[in-house]
Structure formats: C-alpha cells, structure tokens
C-alpha cells in the first residue's frame, strides 16, 4: 500500500464531490465528507477514506437514500426520536444532538433514539460533541449481526459499539472518551486486512464452523470474537437493546450488510443519552473526574481512553494527512476529478 499526502480540506472536497456525483445532496455529502476527514485526523483509517467508495456505492445502489432529510420528533419533555428516512446516520445525528442538548440542560437527563438509520462511523465523534457542550454523552449503535453467542456459531448481534464521553468542565473540552465495540476489533479492520491481502491476527475471528481463523474471507463468513468472551457479548447485547429494540430499528439479524450491495437499507439504529452533571447537586463532579483521571495517568506507560485520538488529531492538523493512494484514486474517479 502506497501513501500520499493530502490536506484535510482537499480530502473533504474530493469526498464530497464523489458523493454528490453518486447522487447525494450537497448537505449530506458535506456531512459524510466531514466524517471521513474526522476519522483520518484521529488516525482511524478503517472508518475514514476506506469508507468513501462504500458510501458512494450505497447511494448508487439504493442501500442509502443520499437525498434523505431526517425528521426529529419530540415525544416527551426529555425524549425524542429521529427517523433517518433510510439515509446516512450522520445527518440524522446532526438533527438529534441539538434538541437532545437542550432537553438535557432543561431536565438534567434526556435521550434520543434514531431508526431507519445506517452506519454512524466513529461513534465517539458524536458523544464527544455532547461532552464539549458540558454534558456526559452516552451513545449506542447497532450493526448487522456478526458476533455469535459464546459457544454458538450463528451471529446474533453486530460489533455494536458503545461510547462514553465525559466533559472537562474547566475548559469546555473532553476529559475522557471511551469508544469500543463488543468485538475484539471492529469488523472494518477485517475488511481492511482483506483489501490489503493480509491475514488476521489470531483471536480476532471464527469461521463458519466456530473455529479460530486468520483468513479474512473465512472470518467474514463466520463471526467476530467478542471482547472478553461472554462479557463482551453481553455488552453488545446491551447495545442492541438500546440502539435497536428501544429505537424500533432493525435488529442485527434483520439488517442488511454495511458492505457490498446485497439487500436494501440496513435500517439500523442509534441511541444517545445526555446528562447534565450539574443537575445532581453540588457533587464536585469536575474535581472528582480530575482526581480519578490523575490517578490513572500517574502510572507509567498508561494512556487515558481517547488520548491517542486527540494527539493524532493535533498532529495531523499540523502535518496533514497520509492516505492510501489507491483509495484516493478511486474517490477521484467517482468525483470526476
């Protein structure tokens, strides 16, 4: 794989152009291009440019409605719901977070679910927005089934990430960002290894017979290994209940794949919960968070969750990005540049 240098603005322009050429509206294209750039800035290449051709393909084949305009509905004073209209998740989340923030500030805690949705990319990017607004952000998103129960062979839930973002109340920043899937690694890492012709590390996946495999094709036909065994599967099950069942979205076993053109819109879901720390009285929340994280950081060679992303982001904004030349050529070809 050869790498080429590109600025974030150039990558945004090319990705948005490719999506518009594929049939997406200008506003949707810009939202998805920003998602691609943000992932690359954070060093999460598996969710960055690698997804741009997939997004374009899914607009072209109708798996995603690139013209969809999400609809937000207030259900109760502190709950809401967004119909993503079988469009991309990011514009739907953009429609959800401002009213969610307002409701949480007014009532102390609030929640919004999304249905008829799609892959939301890096989940932590969305909960981070809540933390930067001074709220504790908790997010769940489900995905097409790819994890079998421990001892089983048939996938029942997706990699099903959940994310927790905690505000730094002293500088309107983020003190802590947890963003992890229920599997050992995200499924996109397996597809990336397949694309690069590389074997998987041991312990990532099982084949269709439930046996360990390092073959990406066998892994994609089998199941991902849950992180921590049954505990990881249970974390994914929790996510499924919030993001799919509570949201009224497709279960992982009902959703079409996020890769390829098979099936119609996945119609998966998300759930976001926002909590105002100040709504729980004079609890010294900011100081407590600082003491907790200081105790963790005091250990040698220990990194706080989310710290690497922020470091990658700061460095990339100074030096620019390095992306896969082949992927970039594909996006250029789609955009007509």
What tens digit of pLDDT does each residue of 212-227 get?
A: 999 999 998 889 999 9
Q: What share of the chain is helix, strand, coil (3-state, %, to 5)?
A: 45, 20, 35
* Cα–Cα dist 55/58, whole Å: 5
Residue 281 region, left (φ>0) first, then alpha (ψ -120 to 50), else beta?
Answer: left
Predicted confidence at residue 83, as pLDDT, reads 98
Give yes or no for residue 191 having a pLDDT over 90. no
For the chain, list the domains and their CATH numbers: 1-61+306-337 (1.10.1530.10), 71-183+226-305 (3.30.1370.60)
Instruction: Count Cα neighbours of 111 within 13 Å in the Cβ-side half-sphere.
Output: 11
At 170, the pLDDT band (50, 70, 90 cuts) reads confident
Distances, alpha carbon 54 to alpha carbons 32, 229, 249, 259, in Å:
12, 30, 22, 7
Q: In the prediction, which pLDDT does 74 show? A: 98
Residue 9 to residue 279: CA distance in whole angstroms: 39
Count CA atoms closer than 13 A to 89's CA, side-chain side. 28
Neighbours of 208 (CB within 10 A): 15
Catalytic residue status for 189: yes
Q: What is the structure's pLDDT at 315? A: 93
Query: What order do you get walking across the sheet with 205-206 strand by strand?
Result: 212-213, 205-206, 223-224
How far apart, in Å, are the Cα atoms of 201 and each of 50, 136, 189, 218, 308? 20, 35, 11, 13, 22
Instruction: Report the distance separating Cα 287 and Cα 295, nearest Å.
Output: 12
- Judge contact between 144 and 256, C-beta under 8 A: yes
Please determine, for residue 190, whether its predicted confidence score (pLDDT) is greater than 90.
no
H/E run at residue 28: helix 26-41
Binned at pLDDT 50, 70 and 90, residue 188 comes out as confident
How does residue 171 score in pLDDT terms, banded at 50, 70 and 90?
confident
Can you tell me the mean pLDDT for 18-34? 98
Reduce the DSSP state of residue 128 to 3 states and report it: helix
Which residue among 22, 25, 38, 46 is the active-site one? 46
What phi and psi values does residue 257 have, to the nearest 5 degrees?
A: -65, 150
- Active-site annotation holder among 146, 189, 240, 256: 189
Burial class (CB in 10 A: 0-12, 13-18, 19+), 290: middle
Task: Give 80's pLDDT tier (boundaries 50, 70, 90).
Answer: very high
Per the prediction, the chain carries an average pLDDT of: 95
The per-residue pLDDT for range 278-316, each reduced to its tens digit, is 999 999 999 999 999 999 999 988 999 999 999 999 999
Q: Residue 138: enclosing H or E segment and its boundaries? A: strand 136-141
Section 142-147 average pLDDT:
96
Active site residue: 12, 47, 58, 90, which one?
A: 47
Confidence (pLDDT) at 189: 83
Q: Which two tokens stand for residue 216?
A: 């990406």
Whole-number Å distance between alpha carbons of 180 and 84:
24
Is 57 among the catalytic positions?
no
Helices (H) and strands (E) in the chain, counts: 11, 12
Q: Is 47 a catalytic residue?
A: yes
Share of the chain above pLDDT 70, in %: 100
């Amino acid at each position: 794989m050869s790498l080429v240098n590109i600025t974030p603005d150039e990558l945004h322009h090319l990705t948005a152009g490719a999506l518009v050429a594929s049939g997406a509206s200008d506003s949707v294209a810009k939202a998805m291009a920003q998602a691609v750039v943000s992932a690359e800035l954070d060093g999460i290449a598996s969710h960055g440019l690698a997804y741009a051709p997939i997004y374009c393909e899914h607009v072209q084949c109708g798996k995603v409605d690139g013209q969809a305009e999400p609809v937000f509905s207030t259900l109760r004073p502190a709950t809401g719901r967004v119909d993503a209209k079988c469009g991309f998740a990011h514009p739907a989340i953009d429609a959800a977070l401002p009213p969610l923030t307002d409701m949480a500030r007014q009532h102390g805690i609030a929640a919004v679910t999304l249905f008829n949705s799609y892959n939301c990319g890096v989940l932590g990017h969305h909960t981070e927005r809540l933390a930067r607004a001074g709220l504790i952000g908790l997010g769940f998103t489900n995905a097409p089934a790819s994890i079998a129960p421990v001892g089983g062979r048939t996938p029942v839930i997706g990699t099903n990430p959940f994310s927790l973002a905690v505000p730094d109340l002293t500088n309107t920043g983020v003190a802590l960002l947890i963003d992890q899937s229920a599997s050992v690694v995200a499924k996109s890492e397996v597809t990336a290894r397949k694309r690069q012709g590389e074997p998987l590390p041991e312990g990532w996946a099982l084949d269709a017979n439930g046996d360990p495999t390092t073959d990406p094709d066998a892994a994609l036909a089998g199941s991902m290994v849950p992180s921590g065994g049954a505990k990881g599967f249970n974390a994914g099950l929790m996510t499924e209940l919030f993001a799919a069942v509570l949201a009224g979205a497709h279960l992982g076993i009902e959703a079409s794949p996020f890769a390829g053109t098979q099936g119609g819109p996945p119609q998966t879901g998300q759930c976001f919960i926002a909590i105002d720390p100040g709504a729980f009285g004079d609890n010294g929340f900011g100081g407590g968070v600082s003491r907790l994280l200081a105790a963790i950081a005091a250990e040698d060679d220990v990194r706080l969750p989310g710290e690497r992303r922020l470091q990658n982001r700061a460095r990339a904004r100074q030096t620019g990005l390095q992306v896969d030349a082949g992927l970039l050529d594909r996006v250029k070809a789609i955009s007509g540049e």
